[in-house]
Structure 1
Amino acid sequence: MQPILALLRKEFLQVRRTREMAAILFMVPLIQLLVLGHAMTVEVKHIRLRILDFDRSVASRQVARAFATTDRFEFQGYETSLEALKEDIQAWRTQMGLIIPRGFARDLRRGLQPTIGLVVDGLDGNTASVALGYARGILRQLMRQQLAHARAVHLLPPGSLRLVQADERMWYNLDLKSAQFMVPGIVVVLLTIVPMMLSAMSLVREKEIGTLEQLMVTPLKRYQLILGKLIPFLILAYVELAVVMGFAQLIFAIHMAGSYGLLAVLAFVYLFTSLGLGVFISTITHTQQQAMFTAWFFMVFMILMSGFFIPIENMPHSLQLATYLNPMRYFMSIVRDIFQKGSGLRYLMKDALPLAGFGIAIFSASVVKFHKRIA
């Protein structure tokens, strides 16, 4: 035990003396959290909207007011012709056009179902579909109010109005805040990048300056060498997790629905994977630059196939099967379930067991390969 403690003391002193490592540990993750937390959002707001009103009635102005009073749309005014509306969309001055036909108010008074045209820039398919969904929701609500008013003033005959009232309830993310979903994913990404890169670069640095061979001739056994090199990064990863989570909840006002203790235990399991990959990278690289680029190579595939950006259900079936080989997939699901649903271990076992298996397998295989490499 004494040799490991001596090596731990050496590693902590080295971290304290290396300014770049301190920056990677704390400054870089906080900057990434701030930038990604604000920039990465699935919410669509301030969609630029122009209205082409051929009816020019009180009812058509109520439609315009309904769109102007929501932050989903940015009402830019009226257009005078369809050609002008097309020109605005072509020139990126607006993203959506709403066309109110002649006779709109008359059809409402008669209890008919008037047609309103929606023209949207479909270059960004996701934004276009979300914008259409927002517009349909506003129009449905407005038409329901208009028809109810017509029935109330006896403009429609009794029994002619059949409205369906939806009783909507939102569970877990009650305010539909994008940060509540995205920020826990960012925490997972940071908890993967930093331990993996630091463990890989630390071991490669020892090879670069020639001190790894010196450590090998000391009384340290090889497993003690691995533990002494990686335990500091395990401890620092927990410090990073606490700092990042604290800032995330403070800045983005997100709440933690589940248990901090359960998250800490499962994070310990996941860190076996990150540190194991770092050890593996150190065995196939010779310089810190190579280690950094190799770590990013692994990170790109792990992030893209974890469900962080793209839901796994939306991927082709072959890629969905491939995601089962990605440890980040399981931890991403665990962290989001703990954060948003407050899930207990009973509900997380389907992800925790594969994660533990991958962590042990990757860490053990990496340590064995490291032993062979330096033997």
Structure 2
Amino acid sequence: MAELDDLRHRSALAPVAWLWSRLGGGQQAVALRATDRALEALSGIVGAKSAPQVLAARLTDRLHEVGGEALVRDPMGWLLGRGLVQRPACPDLRCDDGIRLDTGNDCPTCGNIVHIRRMLRAQVSARVEAETPGMDPATYRAEVEQRLRKETLLDEARAQILRARAEREAEQRQLAIAQRRAIEEDAELARSQAPCADCGLPECAGLCPPCSYRRRTEGLLREAVDLAIAVRANLSDAASVDRLTQQCETDTRALLDKAGERACGRDADPALVAFIAPQLAQQLRDKRHAAALRRLLCSQEVVAEADAAYEALLRHRGRGAEEAAEHAADVAGRRAAEFLLRRRLDELHTARQRGAMVVRLAAGKILVDAA
């Protein structure tokens, strides 16, 4: 074993070191290739690290079967035909002589097969005895064995049909997976080659970076405008909401442009300005959100909610818990302000939809009158 360079080989073949010494150089090369195949198969079951130890245990068990290395007459034939090969006693690929390679315990599939065979023998014996009572023992055993062979052949034929069906289904699944993967790859290629939806620049995956920055900036700008209008406008007056929205949007764009000039300079590269704009719009939106919450914290609804939380905690804990009560009031006030802000934003969107509907109805009436 010392001449083997691979530690995996030395570990796996250690139980048969004496047999190995009896092999010639060419035989050792062939045996090493067989060992590699066995280790590769075991690696897929127990992992590459455990494969040499499992193979060594297999060789040890096989030597015990023959009574030791001294009783092996043909080392090469024994290694290739008996020692290194896996001998599954059932269809489970993890089975080796009735032992599960991955757990080292008895193979449950083998136990099931034994149980099924015993049950089949009992059923066949019962049928033979019922059909031909009083049969002599030798004829009875022969008839049972003959029927068992027929049942076994039928079971094997049915198993082959099931295996063939399973193989066809597996091939169909693999074909479907390959087709779906090809469709997804084609769709991804088409998506990556699609021009920009806004500016038409080719091969931009549908949206080039500058247009993506612009869309992000526009979305944040609209959110900033909505936050300002939601806490200042009379949301029941659709015309007033529309007028204030236009004015606020104009002012917000001017603020954003000035912030961009301060951040990038007056003659900055347009690509740099497009990249910075979403970050500035995010900061402006966050400032508007904080300002809206501060404004709502002074509203009657929020103050009432905070006072109720303060009084409830004092009633629960008694005097001396003023600091905890103030904290609870702050938390309740912020939560109420957030809820109130979301509600007012919903009302703002409803008011805009109502105003747009009025405009459409008015336009339709004008067209009808003109007709």
Larger gyration radius, structure 1 or structure 2? 2
TM-score (norm 2): 0.20
Task: Work out which structure has the larger RCO, using CA pairs closer than 8 Å and 6 or more positions apart in sequence.
Answer: 1
* Greater strand content: 1
TM-score (norm 1): 0.19
* Greater helix content: 2
